[in-house]
Amino acid sequence: MGSDNKLVQFKECRILRDHNIINEDLWVRNGKIVNPEKIFFDEKITADTVIHCKNNIIAPGFIDLQINGGYGYDFSFEDKTEEAISVVGKKLLSHGVTSYCPTVVTSSVEVYHKILSKFKRKEGGLHGATVLGTHVEGPFINPNKKGAHRASFIRSYEQVNDISVIEETYGSLENVQIITLAPEFPNSGSVIKYLTNRNIIVSLGHSTSHLSEAEEAVRHGASLITHLFNAMLPFHHRDPGLVGLLASHNIPRSIYYGIISDHVHTDPAALRIAYRVNPRGLVLVTDAISALGLYEGEHKIGPLNMEIRDQKAYIQGTDTIAGSMASMIECIQFFMSATGSPPEYALEAASLHPAEVLGIQKQKGTLNFDADADFVILNDTFDIQSTWIAGERVFSI
């Protein structure tokens, strides 16, 4: 099956289209979703293959804009970069993820130059999910909100009086799709303008920014917030900081924001607040680390000693959370449980919304006609039954 001009009909299914789950067949040909009216009235043909979906749900494939690795691999480590992309990209198919942005945290200039050129954009298939470009988180972040990022590699905008230092830091920007930075430093406006002119999404995070500084960054082109509530100033009623962007009237467009719905990084009450204040901009991200998919016990990943217990990843010998190890489908399930959101919304928060962030909503994150046939089939308890890329089944239970 795939792009061989064969017409495939998915019958007895409920599909997510235009924010509703409806009873309708899905038609696929040459890796695209096709309009059945043209088939019935113009071509007057029947399907080459009919797949019975047993009344399961077909939703757009999930898109993860922030994932640091998994299955013992970390995208920020300079060893085995290609192997990491191969293994993690393949494993993500079982989570319903059809496209993703491998994420590289604050690193040395030498590491950026060595590995960013290896994260080439690549169409997905049986080999793994589509690589949409790299999400580079740092190094232009605030050391007071560094989280797990190494302080010795953090740089400030005082070091970026010349825009050329941006490319000197990262090397080539060719494979970069998103850059997370802190907007409170001098010269951030010109940096944001420069990056957005290069068609790079600027996300605000790891920051002590005041609301006014954040609003100015959005006016310069920033369009996303990195893992809302984490690594930023807590909400304060006189100056809500980055969180205040969700309800700001002083920005030219509504902001999108990633949020980690893993029952560890974001309390259910915080999920409900974000969902009710700005549902349009909510984007589910896993922010998963190398512990994703690993078993309980001790693990050494690169220089890191990690311990997994009670389905949480800790720095070995401490009670310090090392990062998220939730899959995207688990984030979706927990989000619905925590917020009471309808499944249509939660599924679109992991598909349509991230596609809109990247401006690819006509091709991905939707089941509209002429979109890429990237989708996932789920049962009534929202367990993955199969994953499809370009009309080809790439995973099945």
Per-residue pLDDT tens over the stretch 230-279:
999 999 999 999 999 999 999 999 999 999 999 899 999 999 999 999 99
Q: At 44, is the pLDDT very low, low, confident or very high (cuts 50, 70, 90)?
A: confident
Q: Do the Cβ atoms of 363 and 113 come closer than 8 Å?
A: no
User: In this predicted structure, which of 118-122, 152-156, 190-194, 252-256 has the lowest mean pLDDT?
Assistant: 152-156
Q: Would you say residue 160 has pLDDT above 70?
A: no
What does the pLDDT read at residue 306?
A: 87
Give the span between the Cα atoms of 104 and 108, in whole angstroms. 11
> What value does the mean pLDDT of the chain take?
94
Residues 210 and 80 in one domain: yes
Range of the domain at 371: 7-59+367-396
pLDDT tens for each residue of 305-320:
889 998 888 888 888 7
Name the amino acid, one letter, at 293: G
Task: Identify whether residues 353 and 304 lie together within a single domain.
Answer: yes
pLDDT value at 129 more than 50: yes
Residue 219 within any structural domain of the chain? yes
Whether residue 139 is preceded by a cis peptide bond, meaning omega within 30 degrees of 0, is yes
Whether 83 and 151 map to the same domain: the answer is yes
Instruction: Give the tens place of pLDDT for each residue, 111-122.
Output: 999 999 999 999
Closest alpha carbon to 232 in 301, 184, 273, 193: 184
The catalytic site residues sit at: 287
pLDDT at 158: 63
Measured CA to CA, the distance from residue 111 to residue 289 in angstroms comes to 18
**Cα–Cα distance between 276 and 283 in angstroms, integer?**
14
Domain with residue 51: its CATH number is 2.30.40.10
**Do 350 and 379 sit in the same domain of this protein?**
no
The reported pLDDT for the residue numbered 167 is: 86
Residue 76 pLDDT grade (very low, low, confident, very high; cuts 50, 70, 90): very high
Is 70 exceeded by the pLDDT of residue 161? Answer: no
Count structural domains, the chain: 2
- The pLDDT score that the predictor gives to residue 10 is 98
**How far is residue 29's CA from residue 1's CA, in Å, rounded to a whole number?**
9
pLDDT at 352: 98
199 falls within a domain: yes
pLDDT at 315: 83
51 lies in the same domain as 71 = no
235 & 152 share domain = yes
User: Rounded mean pLDDT of 165-192?
Assistant: 93
Among 69-73, 164-168, 356-360, the range scoring the smallest mean pLDDT is: 164-168
pLDDT mean over 43-65: 95
Whether 88 and 328 have beta carbons less than 8 Å apart is answered as: no
Number of other residues whose CB lies within 10 A of the CB of residue 203: 26
Over residues 67-95, the mean pLDDT reads 95
Distance (Å, whole) CA 167 – CA 186: 18
3-state SS, residue 376? strand
The answer as to whether 237 is a domain residue is yes
Q: Are residues 214 and 350 in the same domain?
A: yes
In the annotated binding site for substrate, the residues are 148, 230-231, 238, 265, 321-323
Do 336 and 198 reside in the same domain of the chain? yes
Residue at 96 is within a domain: yes
Q: What percent of the chain has pLDDT over 90?
A: 84
Q: Are residues 237 and 371 in the same domain?
A: no
CB count in 10 Å sphere of residue 213 = 20
pLDDT value at residue 101: 98
Does residue 1 fall inside a structural domain? no
| 118 belongs to a structural domain | yes
Residues 40, 107, single domain; the answer is: no
CATH code: domain of residue 333: 3.20.20.140
The binding site comprises 137, 148, 206, 227, 230-231, 238, 265, 321-323
What are the CA-CA distances from residue 361 to residues 60, 110, 354, 356 (Å)? 11, 35, 8, 5
Q: What is the pLDDT of residue 164?
A: 80
Tell me, what's the pLDDT at 1? 45
Q: Which residues does 340 contact at the CB level (< 8 Å), separation at least 6? A: none
Domain shared by 222 and 204, yes or no: yes
Together in a domain, 324 and 373:
no
Q: Is residue 2 part of a domain?
A: no
Closest CA to 323 of 181, 201, 227: 227
* pLDDT of 87 above 70: yes
Residues of each annotated binding site for Zn(2+): 137, 206, 227
